[in-house]
Structures are given as C-alpha cells and as structure tokens.
Amino acid sequence: MLKTLLVLALIGGTAVADDFTRAVDALTRGDSRSAAVRRQAGEALAALGARPASGTPDLAKLWGAGPPPVYRDRALGPAYRIIAVVPGGSARFDQVFLAGQRARVAVVAHGTAPARVAVTDDDGLQQCGPSDPIGHCDWVPLWTTRFRIELQNPGIRAASYTVVVQ
C-alpha cells in the first residue's frame, strides 16, 4: 500500500483539507488491492482536477473514475508524476512556481521505500533540502521562476514514487 511521507500542515490543531492534501491522500489510497477503493481514489483525483505530468499515466482513468471535470484555471495543480529511482540514485525535474503563491511538493512512496526531496531555484539556492521533513517541501517563492526538484532514493532497493506539486 502507498505510504504517505507527507506531513500535514496544522493550523490551530486542525488539519488543512485543501486540494493538494486531498490529492496526496487519494494517491495514497489508490494503491489499494480493492477495486472499489481504487475507483474512489480515482474519482477523488478527477473531482479535484489533479492531472498527470507529461508522460505519466492518468491514474484517475486507470482506476476507473471516468472523464475529469473541466479544468478549473489553476496555474500549478495539483499535478503528479510517477518516478522510478535506482538504489542510492536520484531523479530530477524542473517545475515553475509563481511568486507570492504557496508552493508545495510531496512524495508518496510506493511500499516502504525511503525518500528525500530537495528543491533549488534557478540560482542554485536551496528552498528545501534532505534535512527538511521527509518527502515534503513547502515555501513561498519570492519571484516566478523555474525550480529544480530532486528526488533521492537512499534505500538499497529500486523504488517507485509519486511526486505531487502545487
């Protein structure tokens, strides 16, 4: 079963239930052996308008959710991408985040694989690093620019992850 490495943001002791968190939760539930649970997870992704990154399968469709709703005019998501990483290796991709808007990256590990995520801006300044909460990065960019997201597999086995961005 997928295990979320996401640490939920807490405000005043109450969990924030936003689209990003709901997308991460749906992706976590989607690895279930139960077809009904997978279908519900797919329906949740479709209802949120979560979309796969280029080259990533549409899990809402694969899990039997039907067509997604009309795009709701959000600049960055939530969107997800599935990445496989060799033991001790890393994978990198770039993502544009908008100035003054909360930027978030979460890693959902398939199985018990460990993960670390690091985010740097186009000047090489680190926004989040491997020492931050495992699999989670949250910040507000000072300017609109491209950020490099690096996912590391410190484990001894190859692993598959779903990375969610917003």
Q: Which amino acid is at 72?
A: R
Report residue 3's pLDDT band, with 50, 70 and 90 as the boundaries: very low
Distance, in Å, from the CA atom of 37 to the CA atom of 138, rounded to the nearest integer, reads 29
Percentage of the chain exceeding pLDDT 90: 14
Query: Omega into 78 within 30° of 0, i.e. cis?
Result: yes
CATH number where 124 lies: 2.60.120.380
DSSP state string for 4-28: E-PPPPEETTEE---HHHHHHHHHH
What pTM was estimated for this model as a whole? 0.65
Say how many domains are in the chain.
1
Q: Which amino acid is at 105?
A: V
Half-sphere exposure of 31 (CA within 13 A, CB side): 17
Domain containing 92: what range?
2-165
Q: What is the largest CA-CA distance in the chain?
A: 46
Contact 135, 98 (CB under 8 A): no
pLDDT digits (tens, 9 = 90+) for 70-111: 444 445 568 889 899 999 999 999 888 888 888 999 888 888
pLDDT score for 10: 26
pLDDT score for 147: 92
Contact 143, 6 (CB under 8 A): no
Q: At residue 36, does pLDDT exceed 50? A: yes
pLDDT score for 130: 65
